[in-house]
Structure 1
Amino acid sequence: MIATPSLSARGSPSAVAPAPTNNSSTARAARSPTPVALTGAILEIDGYNVLTTVEAALASAVMLIGRDGSYRDMASMHGNFKKVAETPKAITLIGQTLARYSLQSALWYLDAPVSNSARLKQLLLEIAAAQHWLWQVELVPDPDRILAVSPAIIASADSAILDRCPRWLSLAREVVEEHLPLATTVEFHILSPTKRGFGKPTATSRNPRQPKFG
């Protein structure tokens, strides 16, 4: 499902938003634990946000590295989930990365209003069961509200969540660096705001293809 997040209710989880200030980026980075610190931890996952980015990397899209260290992509989605060939592979790579963390638990949150979220939940649980991964998947009206105030470590690149949650992990970055070392990455910065709004990014990226549901 490379076409994702630009949900009208949530904004755009993976899609690029105005870059944070240096101060906010530094504050975020200070709250991101190393993988070693994840042993025995509870990880709550912003499902569409993480999955979309890994799918985009598998489809050879450019990964944008924010000042906070998060990997983001230029994919967009409008209220529906579209499964593509990369979806099972992306889930598997995420699972393999999570498996080496020795987590206490991994809980995925998916947006219930997004069409086909129930199908994605089923796919996540099927792959997890086949690999003996102890995952939970919840469909909720607005994952952002839950994740932003959760005491758990949060896997997301959504700035609205990262600015509020106590600890977070750029899971997409961990997956891409471990399994897709040849992925194209660029440092992403936004020019200073102007009277017309934020300037254009200094690094550009093409959108991944927008496939049909399969």
Structure 2
Amino acid sequence: MRHRGVHPKDAEYFAKDQLPKLATAVKELSWLLGRGYSMKAALTLVGDHHQLATRQRLAVGRIACADGKIAARQAKCISLETLKGREILIDGFNLIITIETALGDGAVFDCLDGCYRDLSSVYGSYRPVEETLPAIELIGNLLADCHPKQVHWLFDRPVSNSGRLAGMVQQLGDAHNWPFTTETTDRTDALLAESKRIVVSCDSAILDHTAQWCNLAREVVTRSVPDAWIIDLKG
């Protein structure tokens, strides 16, 4: 089985000598977003100005955020201590892939809104990797310490192996007697955005619409993957 691993160009794209330029790009993009520019137009403008490679642009786009949205997201973010007895709804692919990336020594970015994000994209296809089960174990162990009432995982049905991954999560949950349930659905993003339960996701569009969320990916990586490659471009 393969690893989630490091992209072959990331050591070059995110080397120390690249970070000041990328941090400046994050500031400029955030400024433009705060003044109503679309992400696509603003990222093209900033990326062209700094002659950024495609993956560098992707990273800058995931890190940047307008000040108003940062404040709004952080106001809705709740701590692990408040999860006891609560119902949680998890964006399955979003959470697991970030932890897989951290475990596989891939680049994880400390974003302006406090989220940890990676550069992986599912695009209709997913395969479990060596880090998949360890990632689920780390997530489950941390949640078990928080004693939630129920943890419901959502996976995008159109993505290949979504049912297989949901089965892995359910099987591991049953083995540990964790309060896990899983579901594959065509409406993952909508269900998360509309939910009144505590949502676990780092998808910006979901965070802007959901009522409450928990920054679980950051908590898992910080507590359980101390050697993760964290790139901080907040300046």
| TM-score, structure 1 normalization | 0.79
Counterpart residue number, 1:82:
127
Q: 1:115 aligns with which of 153, 156, 160?
A: 160
Q: Deviations over 1:53-79 (max 9, x none)?
A: 000000011210111100000112220
Distance 1:176 1:81 in 2: 21
Give 5+ residue unaligned stretches, structure 2.
Answer: 6-57
> Any conservation in 1 of the 2:91–2:200 contact (CA below 8 Å)?
yes
Matches within 5 A, 1:101-140: 101-140=146-185
Q: 1:178 aligns with which of 208, 212, 223?
A: 223
* SS state at 2:112 partner: coil
> Any conservation in 1 of the 2:126–2:159 contact (CA below 8 Å)?
yes
1:91 shift after superposition:
0.6
Distance 1:105 1:142 in 2: 20
Distance 1:137 1:2 in 2: 23
1:23 shift after superposition:
1.2
> Any conservation in 2 of the 1:2–1:75 contact (CA below 8 Å)?
no
| Partner amino acid, structure 1, of 2:160 | S
* SS state at 1:100 partner: helix
1:29 to 2:96 alignment? no
1:173 shift after superposition:
0.6
Give 5+ residue unaligned stretches, structure 1.
Answer: 4-14, 190-201, 203-214
Counterpart residue number, 1:168:
213
Counterpart residue number, 1:194:
none
| Partner amino acid, structure 2, of 1:26 | A
Count the aligned residue pairs: 179
Among all aligned residue pairs of Structure 1 and Structure 2, give the percentage whose two residues are the same amino acid. 36
Task: Calculate the aligned-residue CA RMSD, in Å.
Answer: 1.7
Q: 2:94 aligns with which of 49, 52, 57?
A: 49
Counterpart residue number, 2:24:
none
> Any conservation in 1 of the 2:4–2:106 contact (CA below 8 Å)?
no
Say which one has the larger Rg. Answer: 2
